């Protein structure tokens, strides 16, 4: 048994001129829950697709569960499970028929397959829905089936692309429980998310990924320490008569490293060095701004880390579906 | 690469696809409606073997002799019995022409003045058949009906003349018509257009099912996301192609049996040759078409493009393969094009087997061409398919 679950060496993926994943190198240990955190279009899904043999890297190499991704993709496939963003199941078949079909493709002996299907339906508490057609399920029910489908062949590594996107809080909670549960049984989990809370709640380690590159990689606590140990401070301020001119003035200050406008009145500012707060307040006052509140968060969140390392804000979209178009037109995630 | 696993996985994929089909009523309906619609459409829109009946036709008698009015009566009676033409009397040529222009009659007989006089003076009586040839097909029907009428009248008159000349010892008919004919055909009984159409139609329906089915199925899986489930499973990609081809074969065969049943029951089609050989040809046809479908889906990003490419290839094939019209009736350059279409050979072989009771050695050239075509397209398709799967 090799030491690492994943070993990526300089993985790059280009689509024409566009570089989706740029020279990615990292190691994930067996038994870890590893999170890729980043906004839409950061290259998370492309990375997962490459690691699941669904896309070929333009360059670089990787070992998945000890097998070479490029030279031995069929061995890799035997070791992994995939929970993709688009659910992998046939609407016209029942839940059990879906699992049975994939069980056959994984060459599971019949008796073992049926036992495992029973066990998994119990795990997600859906035993009585076993013989119901998928088309009659709610999104939450479908996602439970989507997860146990990936778990059916007892994978060593489970890849999950946005596993709780668009789910209600109850299902989100249940899915997270399952992830922890299977991880306790020794399964390595690689997940992507653009939800801070999700990454923080589940992952042992997090890679913050932006423009196909790792901006920071550490445990959630260590990532937060980047802020508390440095001179960087995160301010939240509410200005009743906020103008875009005011925002640009603050942004152009030398002490300000990142700025995110959260709505018509609220700003989140990452700033460096002594006297930063004074400078920011002065700028707002000179522009005629009316500050109704300003706070300095002592306990940094992962959101603050993201703002500091990428220079932009990631919004917590845990319970709303978003797409790239929305994302680009969203003034709150404007890149500095 | 383990052949047993490839075949097993193909079987599982086929099983899954057919199960999904059974659950989806709309898909089952589409599967049944397509061949029935095709059959009825093509069975009824083309001209039937017998010529048109009850064609409206005018007659204008400008002569006032005895012979001409006897002729008018004879023409009327003859057509009343045969039902070929419905004869309407007009008093002037102008009136008849107006009716032709209005589309009420297809043409008119005109008996010119002096017709009866010519006959009594030992000359031929000439009558004019005036035909509206703005529709070539109708005008040729009318022309042949009119000339049949005149020929029959000539025969009758000639026999009467022979009898009048006093040779009672001989058969008058054998003098007027010394030659007669009996036509015997390869297919016993009366042949009809549907006999010609059915074999080609069967192979065409299978072609449509397979060629549109492959891009449809694979694009759907791709867009739904289920394709990733299969591709990330430890199976050979060939299994996906084989599985879907097998599933489409089952669907195609179901349609063919339906077509055959309708053709036999409603259109009186008879099968002279071996059914087994016919089914083997159908399978071979599928083998030669499926590659084109896979090529189309591999070189397109979504279902719409894939379907467009397939239609672009399929439509010329349908009309140039000699399914609806004999290839021999096409201009030479079209005949050349039809020679590079696999459907031509499949339909030709199918017709020979079903109608002429040809055996395998009679259609071996067609079989070899289909096999070669299939091998070339399939090899290209597999290469392109594998490349398109991992972008």
Set of chain B residues whose Cβ sits within 8 Å of the Cβ of A78: 234
Q: For residues A86 and A39, what is the distance between their CA atoms, to the nearest angstrom? A: 18
Cα–Cα distance, A51 to A158 (Å, whole number): 11
Q: Which residues of A touch B20 (CB under 8 A)?
A: 90, 92-93
Kindly state the DSSP code that residue A128 receives in the 8-state scheme. G
Number of DSSP helices (H) and strands (E) in chain B, helices first: 15, 4
In angstroms, the separation between the Cα of residue A77 and the nearest Cα of chain B is 5
Name the minimum distance, in Å, from the CA of B311 to any CA of chain A.
27
Which domains does chain B carry?
Answer: 7-47+191-389 (no CATH), 55-176 (3.40.1710.10)
Q: A149 and B9 in contact by Cβ < 8 A?
A: no
CA angle A62, A65, A70 (to 5 degrees): 35
CA distances from B300 to B306, B308, B318, B388 (A): 5, 10, 22, 9
The dihedral formed by the CA atoms of A183, A184, A186 and A189, expressed in degrees to the nearest 10: 10
**What is the model's pLDDT at position A332?**
39
- Yes or no, beta carbons of A56 and B390 under 8 Å apart: yes
Which residues of chain B register pLDDT less than 50? 49
CA dihedral sign, ordered B44, B45, B47, B52: positive
What pLDDT sits at residue B11? 96
Across the interface, do A90 and B20 touch by the CB < 8 Å criterion?
Answer: yes
- Render each residue's pLDDT in chain A as its tens digit; 336 residues: 567 999 999 999 999 889 999 999 999 999 999 999 988 888 999 999 999 999 999 999 999 999 999 999 999 999 999 999 899 999 999 999 999 999 999 999 999 999 999 999 999 999 999 999 999 999 999 999 999 999 999 999 999 999 988 888 899 999 999 999 999 999 999 999 888 888 888 999 999 998 889 988 999 888 888 777 777 788 888 998 888 888 888 888 888 888 888 888 888 888 887 788 888 888 888 888 888 888 886 667 777 788 778 776 654 333 333 333 333 333 333 333
Residues in chain A closer than 8 A to B228 (CB atoms):
49, 52, 54, 82, 84, 86, 88
Describe chain A by its helix, strand, coil percentages, rounded to 5.
Answer: 40, 25, 35
- The reported pLDDT for the residue numbered B51 is 58
Q: Do A53 and B12 touch (CB under 8 A)?
A: no
């Amino acid at each position: 048994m090799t030491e690492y679950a994943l070993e990526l060496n300089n993985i790059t993926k280009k689509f024409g001129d566009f570089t989706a994943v740029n020279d990615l190198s990292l190691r994930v240990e067996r038994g870890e829950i590893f999170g890729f955190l980043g906004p839409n279009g950061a290259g998370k899904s492309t990375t997962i697709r490459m690691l699941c043999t669904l896309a070929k890297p333009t360059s670089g190499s990787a070992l998945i569960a000890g097998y070479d991704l490029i030279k031995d993709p069929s061995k890799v496939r035997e070791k992994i499970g995939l929970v993709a963003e688009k659910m992998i199941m046939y609407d016209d078949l029942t839940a059990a028929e879906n699992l049975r079909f994939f069980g056959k493709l994984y060459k599971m002996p019949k008796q073992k397959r049926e036992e495992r299907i029973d066990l998994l339906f119990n795990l997600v508490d859906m035993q009585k829905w076993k013989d119901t057609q998928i088309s009659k399920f709610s999104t939450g029910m479908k996602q439970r089936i989507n997860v146990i489908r990936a778990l059916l062949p007892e994978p060593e590594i489970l890849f999950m692309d946005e596993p709780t996107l668009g789910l209600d809080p109850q299902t989100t909670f249940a899915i997270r429980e399952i992830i922890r549960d299977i991880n306790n049984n020794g399964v390595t989990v690689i997940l992507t998310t653009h939800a801070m809370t999700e990454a923080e709640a589940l992952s042992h380690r997090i890679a913050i990924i932006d423009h196909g590159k790792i901006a920071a990689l550490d445990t959630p606590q260590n990532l937060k320490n980047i802020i508390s140990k440095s001179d960087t401070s995160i301010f939240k301020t509410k200005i009743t008569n906020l103008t875009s001119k005011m925002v640009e003035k603050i942004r152009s200050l030398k002490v300000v490293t990142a700025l995110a406008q959260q709505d018509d009145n609220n700003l989140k500012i990452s700033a460096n060095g002594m006297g930063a707060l004074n400078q920011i307040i002065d700028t707002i006052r000179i522009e005629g701004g009316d500050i109704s509140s300003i706070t300095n968060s002592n306990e940094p969140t992962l959101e603050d880390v993201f703002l500091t390392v990428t220079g932009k804000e990631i919004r917590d979209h845990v319970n709303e579906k978003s797409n790239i178009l929305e994302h680009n037109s969203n003034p709150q995630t404007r890149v500095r | 690469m383990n052949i047993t696993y490839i075949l097993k996985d193909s079987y599982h994929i086929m099983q899954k696809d057919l199960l999904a089909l059974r659950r989806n009523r709309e898909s089952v309906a589409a599967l049944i409606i397509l061949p029935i619609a095709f059959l009825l459409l093509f069975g009824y829109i083309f001209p039937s073997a017998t010529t048109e009946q009850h064609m409206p036709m005018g007659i204008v008698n400008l002569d006032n002799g005895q012979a001409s009015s006897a002729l008018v009566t004879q023409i009327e009676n003859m057509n009343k019995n045969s039902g070929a033409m419905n004869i309407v009397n007009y008093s002037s040529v102008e009136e008849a022409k107006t009716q032709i222009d209005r589309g009420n009659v297809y043409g008119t007989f005109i008996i010119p003045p002096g017709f009866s006089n010519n006959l009594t003076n030992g000359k031929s009586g000439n009558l004019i058949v005036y035909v509206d040839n703005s529709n070539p097909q109708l005008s040729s029907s009318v022309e042949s009906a009119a000339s049949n009428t005149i020929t029959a009248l000539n025969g009758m008159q000639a026999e009467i003349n022979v009898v009048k000349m006093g040779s009672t010892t001989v058969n008058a008919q054998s003098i007027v018509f010394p030659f007669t004919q009996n036509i015997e055909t390869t297919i016993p009984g009366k042949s009809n257009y549907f006999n010609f159409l059915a074999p080609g139609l069967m192979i065409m329906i299978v072609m449509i099912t397979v060629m549109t089915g492959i891009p449809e199925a694979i694009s759907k899986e791709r867009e739904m996301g289920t394709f990733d489930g299969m591709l990330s499973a430890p199976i050979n990609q060939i299994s996906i192609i084989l599985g879907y081809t097998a599933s489409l074969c089952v669907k195609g065969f179901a349609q063919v049996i339906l077509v055959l049943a309708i053709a036999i029951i409603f259109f009186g089609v008879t099968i002279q040759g071996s059914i087994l050989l016919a089914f083997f040809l159908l399978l071979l046809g599928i083998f030669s078409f499926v590659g084109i479908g896979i090529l189309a889906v591999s070189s397109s990003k979504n279902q719409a493009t894939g379907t467009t490419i397939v239609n672009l290839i399929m439509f010329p094939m349908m009309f140039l393969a000699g399914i609806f019209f004999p290839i021999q009736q096409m201009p030479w350059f079209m005949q050349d094009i039809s020679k590079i279409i696999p459907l031509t050979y499949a339909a030709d072989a199918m017709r020979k087997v079903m109608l002429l009771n040809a055996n395998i050695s009679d259609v071996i050239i067609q079989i070899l061409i289909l096999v070669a075509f299939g091998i070339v397209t399939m090899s290209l398709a597999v290469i392109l398919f594998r490349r398109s799967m991992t972008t």
